[in-house]
Amino acid sequence: MPEIAISLAPNSPRSTIPKDQYPELLAKLNEAAEENLGIAMIFTLASILKEMLEEILISAETKDKEAAQLAEEQERQRVQEELETEIRSIRRTPVTYELFLEWKAKFDAWKAEQKRQGNDVENVRGRNKEKEKRDESRLTGRQVFERMKAEANEGFEEGEEDGLNIDPQEDGEEQQTEEVTAKMANVEIS
């Protein structure tokens, strides 16, 4: 039986085959060569090598996909943990009637202690009496609107609208006014 010397160069820069796969490839090729002694085996060996390389590449792609999925899942978990940590830092104790009464008792005790010490408790809570007085003198939105409307109408004389002069004699209003005034002068109040 002749010696079969098949070698692969694992140091090739273009090789995409993992180095741990070389011994397995050589073993399968040697086995196929020994089985096919005496017949044309080049095609058989090339076919076996092709199938093995396809399996290796498919398994490498699968490993890459699994690694990418694992990395993506780890990133998703990290983001989820960060989000949960942030939510936990934001969440406060839910207010129930019992907790409110407990807080109110503590607050009332603190307020009484502050009054005994002579501190201004109302100002401690962020209230500024001077600011409140200034706010009282500020106009409301309605007052501002009415003031603007009054200022817009200033400068027009009676009977004038939007700068147009309306002649009351055209409508006969002046005559009616004089007649009513004359009748009222004749009325005696007893």
Instruction: Classify residue 40: in a domain, yes or no.
Output: yes
Dist. CA 42–CA 7, nearest whole Å: 15
Query: Which structural domain, as residue segments, surrounds residue 28?
Result: 19-90
* pLDDT above 70: percentage of residues in the chain: 67
Q: Which residues of 118-155 are buried (b: 16+ CB within 10 A; e: fewer)?
A: eeeeeeeeeeeeeeeeeeeeeeeeeeeeeeeeeeeeee
Instruction: Classify residue 52: in a domain, yes or no.
Output: yes
Q: What pLDDT sits at residue 169?
A: 52
- For residue range 150-172, list pLDDT tens digits in order: 887 776 555 555 555 555 555 56
Q: What pLDDT sits at residue 162?
A: 54
Q: What pLDDT sits at residue 1?
A: 40
> Among candidates 91, 25, 32, 83, which has minimal Cα distance to 57?
25
- Model confidence at 48: pLDDT above 80: yes
Instruction: Classify residue 9: in a domain, yes or no.
Output: no
> Among candidates 108, 112, 89, which has minimal Cα distance to 100?
108
- Model confidence at 32: pLDDT above 70: yes
- Model confidence at 81: pLDDT above 90: yes
Instruction: Classify residue 36: in a domain, yes or no.
Output: yes
In terms of pLDDT, which residue wins out, 98 or 145?
Answer: 98
Q: What pLDDT sits at residue 55?
A: 85
Dist. CA 149–CA 162, nearest whole Å: 12
Helix (H) or strand (E) holding 86: helix 42-90
Instruction: Classify residue 25: in a domain, yes or no.
Output: yes
Please state the domain count of the chain.
1
Six-digit token string for 139: 């106009």
Instruction: Classify residue 129: in a domain, yes or no.
Output: no
Instruction: Classify residue 140: in a domain, yes or no.
Output: no
- For residue range 101-121, list pLDDT tens digits in order: 999 999 999 988 888 888 766
Instruction: Classify residue 148: in a domain, yes or no.
Output: no
